[in-house]
Amino acid sequence: MTARSSARARAGKFTATALVLLFTLFPVYFMLSTAFNGRAGSGTDSLFPSHFTMRHFSKALSSGASGGFGRYMLNSAIVTVIVVVASGVLALLGAVAMARFRFRLRTTVLVLILVVQMLPAEALVIPLFLQMKDLRMLNSLLGLAIVYTAFALPFAIWNLRGFVAAVPVELEEAAYLDGCSWWRMFRSILLPLVVPGLIATSAFAFVLAWEEFTFALTFLSDQGRMTVGVGLAEFLGQNTNDWGGLMAASTLVTIPVVVVFVLAQRRLTVGLVAGAVK
């Protein structure tokens, strides 16, 4: 009786696991199989590809008719580096202030940081577009990086705050007793201990800047300045779609994000729920 029910339970578990894996991985599998398929003509051809090829990748990366995806990746990389560094530095300052000091309006600032996180990009894109237009920064990668930094900042502060708070105050006091100045303590004690938090924050900023779509779509019109989020659309033509090229380029966009996610996974999830799971 129990043996049979446990066998049935095992079969059920196996089926459920298989279905979850199928649904979860199928789009990724299909992207890869199309990208490496020598005959990416129709969907069924790509389901079980027979001719392995790197052609779609080399074609996408060479600057040709569909316009050098390598250039877009470089642009995205530039923007991403600026955003990761800028948001990391700014968030660290803000997080130390929020985690280490009790001051008037502290709760107000905290609520403000939470609320601005929720503002929709669709509402901010209209005034920021007009603003950047006035400043003649519409096709500037720096302009894009500044906007992304602002978008990454609230969550980055919120996330990093928890990591700073986790550093025992006693360590700081010990440094003061040894005659350290606040700045010295910050550099030698606090900063090294919040590096894990900085990694999680950087991962979040990286993903945001690397794959952002709405602002890139609105700000960039110059082909040479496009980032990957908008550059992908070039593989879709009026009449013909280059699915092989689109999936190859999509694969190139996805790989760095997957790497960053796997590296920072545990810290990222901890930050997102920020102590709701205690």
117-136 residues near other proteins, rule: CB under 8 A: 118-131
What is the Cα Rg of the chain in Å? 24
HSE of 55, CA atoms in CB hemisphere, 13 A: 11
Q: How far is the C-alpha of 83 from the C-alpha of 77, rounded, in Å?
A: 10
Residue 99 identity: A
- Among 27, 64, 179, 192, indicate the residue that binds other proteins (CB under 8 A): 27
- Binding of other proteins by 220 (CB under 8 A): no
Contact flag: residue 11 with other proteins (CB under 8 A): no
Does position 140 interact with other proteins (CB under 8 A)? The reply is no
Could you say whether residue 101 binds other proteins (CB under 8 A)?
yes
Judged by CB under 8 A, which of 6, 17, 62, 221 binds other proteins? 17
Q: Are 18 and 12 in contact (CB under 8 A)?
A: no
Helix (H, G, I), strand (E, B) or coil at 63: coil
221 counts as binding other proteins under rule CB under 8 A: no
Integer CA distances (angstroms), 274 to 155, 160, 161, in order: 11, 10, 10
Residues of span 199-218 touching other proteins by CB under 8 A? 207, 210-211, 213-214, 217-218
Only segment of 53-61, 63-71, 189-197, 241-249 that touches other proteins (CB under 8 A): 241-249
Q: Which stretch in 67-75, 77-85, 116-124, 192-200 sits in contact with other proteins by CB under 8 A? A: 116-124
DSSP code, position 197: H
